[in-house]
Amino acid sequence: MAVLRLARRLRAERADDSLSDGQFAVLAILSVHGPHALGALAERERVTAPSMNRTVNCLESAGYVRREADEDDARRVRILLTDAGIDLVAETVRRRDAWLDAVLDSLPEADREAVARAVPLLEVIAAR
């Protein structure tokens, strides 16, 4: 329950309220893992290709991603962040970090260490 509640709180801290969670998730993937084909994005987010196509269209209209032709296979497209997309991700990370920093600063040092020790374990659990 604590994890579900905190996730909800974190999602509220974003840099552009006009974008949905799913749209942000795509920007985050592109930021961390680099350019993707449409199908690869759909698979990572576990949505259908048409659904991801719509999400990418929205992000493209907003100027946060662009499509490039794939050099080797003309059927495929490369979807990548624009400069505006890179900035938006950085700003959102900055806001979340700022919020978390403020909360963590209010905790005693021992509690901060306890949280820090648990984070890699949560990563392991989520990966299962």
Chain residues binding a copy of itself by CB under 8 A are: 1-11, 28, 100, 103-104, 107, 111, 114-115, 117-128
Report in angstroms how near the CB of residue 126 gets to a copy of itself at its nearest: 4
Query: Cα dist. 56→39, 41, 85, 128 in Å?
Result: 11, 9, 12, 28
81 interacts with DNA by CB under 7 A: no
Report in angstroms how near the CB of residue 116 gets to a copy of itself at its nearest: 9
Is 22:47 a contact under the CB 8 Å cutoff? yes
Q: Which does 91 bind (CB under 5 to 8 A by kind): a copy of itself, DNA, none?
A: none
Closer CB to a copy of itself, 69 or 110, in the complex = 110
Report in angstroms how near the CB of residue 52 gets to DNA at its nearest: 7
Residue 20, classed as helix, strand or coil, is: coil
Query: In 12-108, where does DSSP find H-type helix?
Result: 21-33, 38-45, 49-61, 83-105
Closer CB to a copy of itself, 51 or 57, in the complex = 51
Q: Angle CA(45)–CA(103)–CA(114) in degrees, nearest 5?
A: 80
Q: Which of 32, 31, 34, 36 is nearest to 56 (CA)?
A: 36
Q: Which does 103 bind (CB under 5 to 8 A by kind): DNA, a copy of itself, none?
A: a copy of itself
Q: Which residue has the tokens 């698979």?
A: 43
Q: Which spans of this chain sit near DNA (rule: CB under 7 A)?
A: 19-20, 22-23, 37-40, 46-51, 53-58, 67, 70, 73-77
